[in-house]
């Protein structure tokens, strides 16, 4: 970790992060009526079902909604991905007909990450064998906070080693990381370990996603890109449900990383309620009258 911090010193600007985020929030509202921006954001959603009550039949119906969306709303792009528990990877794979929608699972002892490393690898490998092409895992937060950085790094690389060409997203659970310096260090550790995406949170712990944490992650991704040439995606997840909420995260990406990050290869939103709210706002703007859509 000392070497990482030598290569990537913590930016001084984080001391004024509250002021930075306040300015971003003020500016983000300017895009509220821009349906092209809202459609782009919709196309970056990982539509998620991670409920204790999920079942095979329930996931089939969930996936069929995504299948039908293209014909029901031909003027809209589809979501970026579907995200489910790994036990439903085969159901998702066998049901999904939309080739441009990725198949994601949470894995490796989600959401606490408190299980054996070999179990994390096996769970991930099984999900990939059943058709998943993206995997979201959780950083071993307790070990990170104890300073066991080598363990955390090696565990991520161990999971990555069984993934072949599938994309790995590592969830930092930023609500447990109290200082920007910790989020900065965790971000760089995960990127060094091979994660293609950094994700804010599981949504199972509060606080979940915050603009402050996401800003630090974006700055880390920018610093890593400037030094290595490798682009790391960013995913905000947990508690993002309104157009106003998500536009803050969109503006952070635009400010820090630029337009080339504003696509679903490098920007994702983990949300379910957001999808319906975005649809409602888009069609309210386009029709010129209040429209409420409850599709998903």
Sign of the alpha-carbon dihedral angle for 239, 135, 267, 271: negative
CA distances from 69 to 78, 92, 99, 132, 218 (A): 7, 16, 13, 21, 31
Domain locations in the chain?
A: 2-287
The overall average pLDDT reported for the chain is: 96
pLDDT of residue 3: 79
CA distances from 85 to 105, 197, 209, 217 (A): 5, 18, 20, 25
CA distances from 29 to 97, 245, 263, 280 (A): 35, 10, 20, 17
pLDDT of residue 4: 80
Positions marked catalytic: 136, 199, 235
Q: pLDDT tens digits, residue range 127-137?
A: 999 999 999 99
User: Which residue intervals of the chain are DSSP H helices?
Assistant: 2-7, 17-28, 35-42, 56-72, 89-95, 117-129, 141-145, 149-160, 180-192, 211-228, 243-256, 273-287
Say if residues 232 and 196 touch (Cβ distance below 8 Å).
Answer: yes
Among the ranges given (1-5, 23-27, 219-223), the one the predictor scored with the smallest mean pLDDT = 1-5
- Residue 272's pLDDT band, with cuts at 50, 70 and 90, is confident
CA distances from 115 to 122, 132, 205, 293 (A): 11, 21, 18, 40
Q: pLDDT tens digits, residue range 92-104?
A: 999 999 999 999 9
pLDDT of residue 43: 98
- Residue 151's pLDDT band, with cuts at 50, 70 and 90, is very high
- Residue 2's pLDDT band, with cuts at 50, 70 and 90, is confident
pLDDT surpassing 80 at residue 33: yes
CATH number of 2-287: 3.20.20.70
Q: Distance between CA 251 and CA 39 in Å, rounded? A: 15
pLDDT surpassing 90 at residue 238: yes
Read off the DSSP letter of residue 10.
P
């Amino acid at each position: 970790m000392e070497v990482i911090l030598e290569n990537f010193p913590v930016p001084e600007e984080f001391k004024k992060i509250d002021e930075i985020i306040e300015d971003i929030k003020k500016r983000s509202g300017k895009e509220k009526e821009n349906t092209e921006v809202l459609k782009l954001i919709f196309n970056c959603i990982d539509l998620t079902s991670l409920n204790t009550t999920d079942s095979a039949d329930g996931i089939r119906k969930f996936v069929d909604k995504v299948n039908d969306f293209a014909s029901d709303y031909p003027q809209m792009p589809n979501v970026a991905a579907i995200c489910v528990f790994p036990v439903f990877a085969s159901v998702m794979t066998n049901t999904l007909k939309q080739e441009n929608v990725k198949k994601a699972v949470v894995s490796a002892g989600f959401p606490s990450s408190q299980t054996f490393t070999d179990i994390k690898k096996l769970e991930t490998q099984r999900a990939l064998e059943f058709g998943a092409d993206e995997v979201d895992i959780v950083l071993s937060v307790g070990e990170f906070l104890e300073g066991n950085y080598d363990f955390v790094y090696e565990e991520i690389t161990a999971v990555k080693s069984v993934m072949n060409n599938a994309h790995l997203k590592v969830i930092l659970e930023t609500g447990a990381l109290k200082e920007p310096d910790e989020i900065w260090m965790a971000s760089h550790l995960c990127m060094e370990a091979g994660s293609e995406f950094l994700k804010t949170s599981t949504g199972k712990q509060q606080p979940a996603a915050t603009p402050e944490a996401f800003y630090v992650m974006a700055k880390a991704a920018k610093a890593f890109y400037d030094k290595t040439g490798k682009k790391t995606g960013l995913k905000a997840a947990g508690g993002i449900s309104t157009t106003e909420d998500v536009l803050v995260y969109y503006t952070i990406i635009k400010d820090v990383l630029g337009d080339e990050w504003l696509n679903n290869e490098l920007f994702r939103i983990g949300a379910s309620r957001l999808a319906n709210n975005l649809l409602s706002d888009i069609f309210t703007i386009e029709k010129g009258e209040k429209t409420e859509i409850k599709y998903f």
